[in-house]
Amino acid sequence: MNTLSNPSPAFNTRYELPPGGISLLGYVVRRMHKTALLLPVSQMIADGRSAEALAQVGLYAVAASASFGPAYYQPTFDRAGTTVKEPDPTTGATVTATLESTSPHYRISNSVELPDIGRFSGTEEITGTTVSWHGLGMPAPSRFSFTDKTGEYSVQIVGLVTSELLPRLLTQSRIRAYGTLDLRDNAGNRGALNVTRSGDAHVAVTAPSGEVIVRHEQLARPGR
C-alpha cells in the first residue's frame, strides 16, 4: 500500500473544523484543500499515461469528499445561495463551494481552479441521515468532472460517498467516510474506486488496451 505524500493540512480534521468554528460550506472548502493530489495530472497526461491520470483525479475526488479523524463539532448551516471561497494554502488553488438549495435536500456545488493543471468541479446532494450500529450516516450522491488546462483531456466521475459520524461517550467522536465512485475519461479509460471506513482507498482503471492500473492509498492519517 502506498502512503500519500501530500502534506496538505486538510488531512487533519482540526484544520477542517478549526477551533473558532466554521460553516458547512467553509468545512466543504477546507475538506477540498487537498488539491496537491491534482498536481501530477498534467505530467501524466503529457507522458501519455491517461489511465494513471484518471486514477489520480479519482483519488482527489474521494479525498475531497471525505474526512477521517476527530469530529470536534458540527458546522453551522448556511443559507441557500451562499458561496464560500478560500485558496488552498498548499497550492494556491482557488476552491469555491456554493449551497444551491436546502430543500428537499442540501445541494452543494464546488470547484477547484488550478491554472497550470486544469479545473475540477462537482456537485453533492446530502439526502438525509441514516442510523445504524456503525453510526450516523449522511449519504451524498455526487458527480464530478475535470478538464485539463489544454481542454483536450476530460474526466467524468459519479458515485456515492457517505460521511459517517461515530458518537462516543467517553472519548472524542469520530468522522469517517465510505463509498464508491465510477470513473471514465475521453481517452477510453474506465475505472472504479472504493474507499472504506478505515480510509483505505482502492482504485482500478482499465485502459483501452486492456492494461489495468491499480492504486491503493490510505486517506486516514495515523494518529488523527
Q: What is the pLDDT of residues 175-212, one digit of tens each?
A: 999 999 999 999 999 999 999 999 999 999 999 999 99
Q: Is the peptide bond before 7 cis (omega within 30 degrees of 0)?
A: no
Domain contains 142: yes
Q: Which residues constitute the domain of residue 95?
A: 2-218
Domain contains 53: yes
Domain contains 132: yes
- pLDDT value, residue 222: 59
- pLDDT value, residue 134: 77
- pLDDT value, residue 2: 40
Q: Helix, strand, or coil here: 36?
A: helix
Listed as own residue / partner, the contacts of 191-197 with beta carbons closer than 8 Å and 24 or more positions apart are 191/51, 191/54, 191/55, 191/58, 193/55, 193/58, 193/59, 193/61, 193/62, 193/159, 195/62, 195/66, 195/161, 195/219, 197/134, 197/164
Q: Is the dihedral of CA 36, 41, 42, 47 positive or negative?
A: positive
- pLDDT value, residue 86: 97
Task: Name the pTM for this structure.
Answer: 0.93
CATH number of the domain encompassing residue 14: 2.40.160
Domain contains 224: no
CB 223 within 8 A of CB 10: no
DSSP string, 79-97: PTT-EEEEE-TTT--EEEE
Residue type, 128: G
CB 187 within 8 A of CB 41: no
Domain contains 82: yes
Q: Which residues of the chain have pLDDT under 70?
A: 1-10, 170, 222-224
- pLDDT value, residue 11: 80
Domain contains 223: no
Q: What is the pLDDT of residues 42-54, one digit of tens each?
A: 999 999 999 999 9
Domain contains 49: yes
- Count of structural domains within the chain: 1
- pLDDT value, residue 171: 77
